[in-house]
């Protein structure tokens, strides 16, 4: 079983991202389980969402404590939260940032992929320039570096499930797929 943990802030779409990625992986014939964990439920507060993927039914029902992959929607969380807690070091850490992996010394020695999902979201008018909604863009980066799911399935799941502007969200995922640096 593969386990993925999303770290974001309220309003960035971490919970929606986990559900859309679950839909994409499900389309490719896998069993999935996606669910959030909230602290203070307000815009800007740290949020975690989880996704499990397996070839057989998933019976476990607890939080993801040892993720195979990490998705970080807000790079500021790396300074505030131990995003790598329990992380299996052979997986990928995918960070939304305009900087390279070297900007995060606390991630040294890990496989880090970066993409400026914020810039892509702003370009595609997803959220406001001051608070872009980066969730669908970061899914394109995830598809690129992990190979767990195709970008075609990610875009189809976005078109099926994005709550607003599905075409722009699918375009953002494709752009992030093309621009990810690993």
Instruction: Quote the pLDDT of residue 12.
Output: 83
Instruction: Quote the pLDDT of residue 146.
Output: 96
Instruction: Quote the pLDDT of residue 38.
Output: 65
Instruction: Quote the pLDDT of residue 47.
Output: 86
Summarised one tens digit per residue, pLDDT across range 63-80 is 899 999 999 999 999 988
As a whole-number percent, the residues of the chain with pLDDT over 70 amount to: 96
Domain definitions of the chain by residue range: 2-179
pTM over 0.85: yes
pLDDT beneath 50, residues of the chain: none
DSSP the chain: -EEEEEEEETTS-HHHHHHHHHHHHHHTT-EEEEEEEESS-STTSEEEEEEEEESS-----S--SS-SEEEES-TTHHHHS-TTTT--TTSEEEEE-SS-GGG-GGGTTSEEEEE-HHHHHHHTT-EETTEE--HHHHHHHHHHHH-SS-HHHHHHHHHHH-SS-HHHHHHHHHHHHHH-B-
Instruction: Quote the pLDDT of residue 46.
Output: 79
Instruction: Quote the pLDDT of residue 105.
Output: 93
Pull the structure tokens for residue 74. Answer: 């807000």
Instruction: Quote the pLDDT of residue 121.
Output: 96
Distance CA 53, CA 160 (A): 20
Q: Taking phi first (over 0 means left), then psi (-120 to 50 degrees means alpha), and beta for anything else, what does residue 13 get?
A: left
Superfamily of domain 2-179: Pyruvate-ferredoxin oxidoreductase, PFOR, domain III (3.40.920.10)
Altogether, the residues listed in the chain come to a count of 182
Instruction: Quote the pLDDT of residue 168.
Output: 96
């Amino acid at each position: 079983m593969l386990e993925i943990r999303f770290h974001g802030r309220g309003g960035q779409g971490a919970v929606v991202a986990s559900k859309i990625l679950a839909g994409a992986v499900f389309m490719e014939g896998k069993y999935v389980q996606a669910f959030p964990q909230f602290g203070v439920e307000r815009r800007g507060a740290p949020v975690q969402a989880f996704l499990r993927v397996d070839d057989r039914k998933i019976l476990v029902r607890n939080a993801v404590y040892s993720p195979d992959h990490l998705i970080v929607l807000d790079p500021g969380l790396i300074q505030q939260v131990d995003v790598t807690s329990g992380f299996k070091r052979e997986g990928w850490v995918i960070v939304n940032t305009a900087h390279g992996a070297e900007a995060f010394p606390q991630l040294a020695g890990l496989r880090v992929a970066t993409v400026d999902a914020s810039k892509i979201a702003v370009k595609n008018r997803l959220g406001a320039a001051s608070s872009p909604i980066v969730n669908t863009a970061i899914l394109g980066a995830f598809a690129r570096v992990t190979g767990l799911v195709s970008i075609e399935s990610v875009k189809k799941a976005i078109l099926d499930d994005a709550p607003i502007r599905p075409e722009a969200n699918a375009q953002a995922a494709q752009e992030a797929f093309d621009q990810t640096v690993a």
